[in-house]
């Protein structure tokens, strides 16, 4: 029998007998390594710790302290959960079960009622009993025919068998009396699945398609160490408290109702106020920085997107064209750049007009799959804070610096400090995704890199993250929970001016091709508001808060008129103020103002009315301060004009 040859990460090579396991290989290196080993990778493919190996190759021992090791644990936990569910609910059907960096989930379907949150604790108890008894998990390989017989009656599992079959072989795991379809490598027994938690249930469409049945998804997580589980549960609680969807509902900021349109946000008065303040700020900032604001239609002839390349590259993310019946096809725009190109083309342009800066709060539509939609962060209709500059090649570096300076100013006003820069390049091997012009890419990428080096800014370089038409600088920030996302971008584009045959008349009287710079300061209004809700936990700084002041009379009968006088003075100055005239106890009204995160609560009674004063209580504070109306006005106006910065 021929031997198997394995190459280790350090370059060394060893030979083993046929049928050797990953555990055997690990023991040959060190007993301590074998104790930590949970699986192996051979030429990138995962194998179970005690699975007989038939082929050699480059081998990597997967240990508990690695990401892959954690994935193995969670895949094992998902199998135990399926076994517990099958035992608890006779005839239950299973969709997908998978693990990722956030935990694992199992999709289920029941004929009567779906699994409820109340039933998670008994399921946990069943799983813990398996762990305590160290139930073995035996890997079995069935023929495809036998596998289909095994899952007969479960339409979801039958489809998964066809999907997961490796030729005529399908992996199952025997857990007690239950034979579970294998979706990934698992541990040989339940003993290490000690630290886990079943978290929640939610609806999920089969295969992520809204046209398919709605299944019940059980979310869970698992770790090897108790401390890691406790830290994760604490993080999840913090995330729940900051979840913009939860806060948005509590503060009546927005809602999304699938019955009237999945992924379409309805902005309530409170949320619309926050958004309007941001929009006015952005427009004023851009006008002061030389941008000309425009308004362009959300519909455009499909031919424009064919010319731009969006149709070829992003067709799956665009809504179907609307046939107008006369040969014209209109498309809901997924991007604003072709619209701004039309603004530039509408007149003959001179070199004297360059750089020509065009900006818009442009509404766009993208077809996001139902399973990907999430509050304001993933929507089908969005308004992008968009800008395009048309300029000469020699103006690129200066304009790049100018845009970057504007971004930093905006970040300062919104108190955004935790961010870094990423230069995003094309992947030269991916000729399908990226515009095929080596000279253009080399020139534009070197220009952006040169500008960043000249500015002395630190950055990371990321191949394969560019737009299809050019490289870009991405400003990467972090959500309140530490997740990285792109907030702003500057993109250099030589391609679209070529495709749309753009020209300007140079100083020499001849036609020249401009370069185009795409930039977004704060992403879409939807995503930016979601980001701010989570950063502030809904307690917006005064300048952004939907309600800046709540005036509460001790007695509406005795002090109502004075409360209205104070309120009228504030509203006349543009301060968002209102009187709480409800017939409730004053303590309740003050607590309600705090619950709704109003920055300033003003209480007025006999003393205040007789001396033109107000009792001022800041959000989050227990004590009040008595001020004259004029002094309070001065303080709050300073707070607003300073963008409520912490360091004044």
Q: Cis peptide before 355, with omega less than 30 degrees from 0?
A: yes
For residue 329, the SS3 value is strand
Taking the CB of residue 146, how many other CB atoms lie within 10 A of it?
A: 14
Of 1 and 136, the one with more pLDDT: 136
Domain range summary for the chain, segments of one domain joined by + = 3-63, 68-242, 265-536, 542-642
Give the C-alpha separation, 41 to 63, whole Å.
Answer: 11
- Mean pLDDT for the stretch of residues 196-224: 90
For domain 68-242, the question of CATH label 3.30.980.10 is answered with yes
CATH topology of domain 265-536: BirA Bifunctional Protein; domain 2 (3.30.930)
Q: Name the H helices within 365-437.
A: 396-413
Residue 647: pLDDT above 60?
no
What is the structure's pLDDT at 240?
Answer: 84
Taking the CB of residue 612, how many other CB atoms lie within 10 A of it?
A: 12
Taking the CB of residue 419, how many other CB atoms lie within 10 A of it?
A: 15
- Cα angle 545-549-552, degrees, rounded to a multiple of 5: 145
- The reported pTM is 0.80
Q: Name the H helices within 289-422.
A: 302-308, 310-314, 337-345, 396-413
User: Among 322, 265, 263, 267, which Cα is nearest to 297's?
Assistant: 322
Backbone angles phi, psi at 2, to 5 degrees: -70, 150
- Mean pLDDT for the stretch of residues 8-28: 91
Complete DSSP assignment for 46-76: EEETTPPP---EEEEEEETTSHHHHHHHHHH
Phi-psi region of 367 (alpha: psi -120 to 50; beta: other; left: phi over 0): beta
Instruction: Look up residue 393 and give its DSSP letter.
Output: G
- Cα angle 528-406-481, degrees, rounded to a multiple of 5: 30
Domains 3-63 and 542-642 equal at CATH topology level: no
Q: What pLDDT digit, counting tens, does each position of 533-550 carry? A: 999 999 999 999 999 999
Q: What pLDDT digit, counting tens, does each position of 300-344 carry? A: 999 999 999 889 888 888 999 999 988 899 999 999 999 999 999
Please provide the CATH number assigned to the domain covering 542-642: 3.40.50.800
pLDDT band at 88 (very low <50, low <70, confident <90, very high): very high
Whether the CB-CB separation of 141 and 171 falls below 8 Å is answered with yes
Instruction: List the beta strands (DSSP E) in 595-639.
Output: 600-604, 613-618, 625-628
- Residue where the block lists tokens 């709540």: 550
Q: What pLDDT digit, counting tens, does each position of 444-487 carry? A: 788 888 888 888 888 888 888 887 777 888 899 888 767 788 89
Give the C-alpha separation, 411 to 518, whole Å.
Answer: 19
Annotated binding residue at 512? no
Annotated binding residue at 346? no
Q: What pLDDT digit, counting tens, does each position of 408-417 carry? A: 999 999 999 8
Whether the CB-CB separation of 21 and 51 falls below 8 Å is answered with yes
Average pLDDT of every residue of the chain = 92
CA-only gyration radius of the chain, Å = 30
β partners of residue 42: 45, 59
Inter-helix orientation angle 226-242/525-536, to 10°: 120
Write down the number of H helices and E strands in the chain: 21, 32
What is the structure's pLDDT at 648?
Answer: 44
What is the structure's pLDDT at 372?
Answer: 79
Residue 1: pLDDT above 60?
no
Residue 137: pLDDT above 50?
yes
Domain 3-63, second-level architecture: Roll (3.10)
pLDDT band at 208 (very low <50, low <70, confident <90, very high): confident
- Mean pLDDT for the stretch of residues 86-94: 92
Annotated binding residue at 547? no
């Amino acid at each position: 029998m021929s031997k198997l040859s394995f190459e280790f990460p350090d370059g060394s090579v060893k030979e083993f007998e046929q049928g050797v396991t990953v555990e055997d290989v690990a023991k040959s290196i060190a007993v301590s390594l074998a104790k930590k080993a949970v699986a192996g990778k051979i030429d990138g493919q995962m194998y179970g710790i005690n699975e007989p190996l038939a082929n050699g190759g480059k081998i990597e021992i997967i240990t508990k302290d690695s990401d892959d090791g954690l994935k193995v644990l969670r895949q094992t936990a998902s199998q135990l959960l399926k076994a517990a569910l099958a035992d608890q609910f006779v005839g239950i059907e299973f969709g997908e079960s998978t693990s990722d960096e956030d935990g694992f989930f199992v999709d289920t379907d029941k004929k009567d009622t779906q699994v409820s949150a109340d039933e998670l604790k008994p399921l946990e108890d069943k799983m813990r009993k398996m762990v305590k008894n160290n139930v073995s998990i035996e890997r079995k390989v069935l023929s495809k025919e036998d596998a289909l017989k095994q899952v007969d009656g479960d339409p979801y599992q039958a489809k998964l068998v066809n999907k997961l079959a490796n030729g005529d072989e399908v992996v199952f795991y025997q857990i007690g009396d239950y034979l579970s379809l294998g979706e990934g490598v698992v541990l040989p027994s339940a003993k290490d699945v000690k630290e886990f938690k079943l978290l929640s249930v939610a609806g999920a469409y089969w295969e992520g398609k809204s046209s398919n049945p709605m299944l019940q998804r059980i979310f869970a997580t698992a770790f090897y160490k108790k401390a890691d589980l406790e830290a994760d549960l604490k993080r999840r609680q913090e995330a729940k408290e900051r979840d913009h969807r939860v806060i948005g509902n509590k503060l009546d900021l927005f809602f999304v109702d699938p019955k009237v349109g999945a992924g379409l946000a309805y902005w309530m008065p409170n949320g619309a106020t926050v958004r309007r303040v941001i929009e006015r700020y952005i427009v004023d900032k851009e006008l002061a920085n030389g941008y000309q604001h425009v308004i362009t239609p959300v519909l455009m002839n499909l031919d424009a997107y064919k010319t731009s390349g969006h149709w070829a590259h992003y067709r799956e993310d665009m809504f179907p064209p609307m046939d107008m019946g006369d040969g014209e096809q209109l498309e809901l725009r997924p991007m604003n750049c072709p619209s701004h190109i039309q603004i530039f083309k509408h007149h003959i342009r001179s070199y004297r007009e360059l750089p020509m800066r065009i900006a818009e709060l442009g509404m766009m539509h993208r077809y996001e799959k139902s399973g990907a939609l999430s509050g304001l962060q993933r929507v089908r209709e969005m308004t992008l804070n968009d800008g395009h500059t048309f300029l000469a090649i020699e103006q690129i570096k200066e304009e790049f610096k100018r845009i970057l300076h504007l971004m930093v100013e905006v970040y300062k006003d919104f108190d955004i400090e935790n961010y870094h820069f990423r230069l995003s390049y094309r992947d030269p091997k991916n000729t399908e995704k990226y515009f095929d012009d080596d000279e253009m890419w080399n020139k534009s990428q070197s220009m952006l890199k040169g500008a960043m080096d000249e500015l002395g800014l630190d950055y990371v370089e990321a191949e394969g993250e560019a737009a299809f038409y050019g490289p870009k600088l991405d400003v990467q920030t972090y959500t309140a929970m530490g997740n990285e996302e792109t907030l702003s971008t500057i993109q250099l584009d030589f391609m679209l001016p070529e495709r749309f045959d753009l020209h300007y008349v140079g100083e020499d009287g001849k036609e020249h091709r401009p370069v185009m710079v795409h930039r977004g300061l704060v992403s879409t209004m939807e995503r930016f508001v979601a980001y701010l809700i989570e950063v502030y936990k809904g307690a917006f700084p005064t300048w952004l808060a939907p309600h800046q002041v709540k005036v509460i009379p001790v007695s509406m009968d005795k002090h109502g008129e004075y409360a209205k006088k104070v309120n009228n003075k504030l509203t006349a100055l543009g301060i968002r103020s209102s009187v709480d005239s409800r017939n409730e106890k004053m303590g309740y009204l003050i607590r309600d103002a705090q619950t709704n995160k109003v920055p300033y609560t003003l209480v007025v009674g006999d003393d205040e009315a007789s001396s033109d004063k107000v009792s001022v209580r800041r959000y989050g504070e227990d004590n009040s301060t008595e001020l004259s109306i004029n002094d309070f006005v001065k303080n709050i106006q300073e707070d607003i004009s300073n963008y409520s910065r912490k360091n004044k």
